Amino acid sequence: MVSTLHIERQAGALGAVVTGLDLSAPVDDAMLAELHRALLDHLVVCIRGQGAVTPEQHVAFARRWGPIEPHPYVEPVEGHPEMIRIYDPNPLTETWHADFSYAPHPPELSLLLARTVPPYGGDTAFANAYLAFEALSDGLKDTLRGLRAVHQGTALAMSRGLTLDDITAVHPVVTVHPETRREVLNVNGVYVKHLDGWTPEESAPLLDLLYTEVARMEHTYRHRWQPGDLLLWDNRCVQHRVVGDTGGQPRDLHRVTVGRIEIPGKG
């Protein structure tokens, strides 16, 4: 089979744009495998021109990758329990983070479809957490491999009937990607409260240093949205944040999250 996909890298650290694909039509296993390879290579993949995709087709495409994991406490899009709406930037979404990192097993893939984007502003930035770890000194790497961090969801969870235990997990500061086997820096400024066994005050200097490493320009890619862009990112090795410069202009994106990638032929 000759591929009709065109994949164009967008930055040195991560990010690629894919054209030549219409997700309103069925995607066969070979094409899905090619997208999976692009995801592992580029970490963030934008499939351009998907404005005609319905919410049902968005969800169906996500299911091709594996079981969907609805957000445990953010209200879903009406009529679509698998999907949440991303709109106005706020202090949480403007901070570097990985989705659901407070879960015992954080999801592996996010699929975000741009429905309405402002004429300027509201870009989403992505950071390569492989590079953030690899740039550290050998001594610090060795220290971090022995540490764990406490991740906790937001207070909104309490209003949805969840307990603190429901939204708290302890994860290694350095994880190993299950497919690439590369080491990943696994702390973020939204959900990490402190290092396990350390006080917040003791943890802060080291965590701040690591967050600064994640945000280094050479580790990032800034995506300027077009209507109909469908972004896929590997939540196991990518952090993201919105750039909050919309000036109040309308911005509406829909996200579906896959708990575990289980596409045909994986592994």
Asked if residue 129 has pLDDT above 60, the reply is yes
Mean pLDDT of the chain: 95
Q: Which residues pair with 115 in a beta bridge?
A: none
Band (pLDDT 50/70/90 cuts) for residue 2 is very low
Task: Give the DSSP letter string of 53-116.
Answer: --HHHHHHHHHHHS-B---SSSPEETTEEEEEEE-S--TTTTS-B-TTTTSSS--SEEEEEEEE
Asked if residue 153 has pLDDT above 70, the reply is yes
Give the β-pairing of 252-258 and 109-116: antiparallel
Q: In this predicted structure, what is the pLDDT of residue 87?
A: 87
Residues 45 and 78 in one domain: yes
Give the β-pairing of 148-152 and 168-172: antiparallel
Q: Which of 182, 199, 214 is the last residue of a domain?
A: 214
Going across the sheet that includes 192-195, the strands are 168-172, 148-152, 192-195
User: Is-contact 227 116, C-beta < 8 A?
Assistant: yes
Q: In this predicted structure, what is the pLDDT of residue 94?
A: 95
User: Distances from the Cα of 33 to the Cαs of 45, 112, 219, in angstroms?
Assistant: 13, 19, 26
Residues 147 and 194 in one domain: yes
Residues 36 and 87 in one domain: yes
Residues 17 and 121 in one domain: yes
Give the β-pairing of 80-86 and 174-176: unpaired
Band (pLDDT 50/70/90 cuts) for residue 267 is low
Number of domains in the chain: 2
Give residue-wise pLDDT tens across range 56-97: 999 999 999 999 999 988 899 999 999 999 988 888 899 999
Angle 166-172-173 (CA atoms, 0-180°, nearest 5)? 115
Q: In this predicted structure, what is the pLDDT of residue 1?
A: 39
CA distance 149 to 126: 22
Model-level pTM? 0.95
Q: In this predicted structure, what is the pLDDT of residue 155?
A: 85
Look at residues 70, 52, 62, 38 and name the one whose alpha carbon lies nearest to residue 112.
Answer: 62
Residues 187 and 143 in one domain: yes
> Which tokens belong to 12?
């040195």
Band (pLDDT 50/70/90 cuts) for residue 234 is very high
Q: In this structure, is the dihedral angle defined by the CA atoms of residues 173, 129, 118 and 58, taken in order, positive or negative? A: negative
The reply to whether 1 falls in a domain is: no
Q: What average pLDDT does range 201-208 have in this prediction?
A: 98
Band (pLDDT 50/70/90 cuts) for residue 265 is low
Residues 71 and 91 in one domain: yes
Residues 148 and 235 in one domain: no
Residues 116 and 184 in one domain: no
Q: Lowest-confidence range among 1-15, 74-88, 116-130, 205-219?
A: 1-15
For residue 67, the enclosing domain spans 6-127+220-258
Residues 181 and 170 in one domain: yes
Asked if residue 264 has pLDDT above 80, the reply is no
Asked if residue 159 has pLDDT above 90, the reply is no
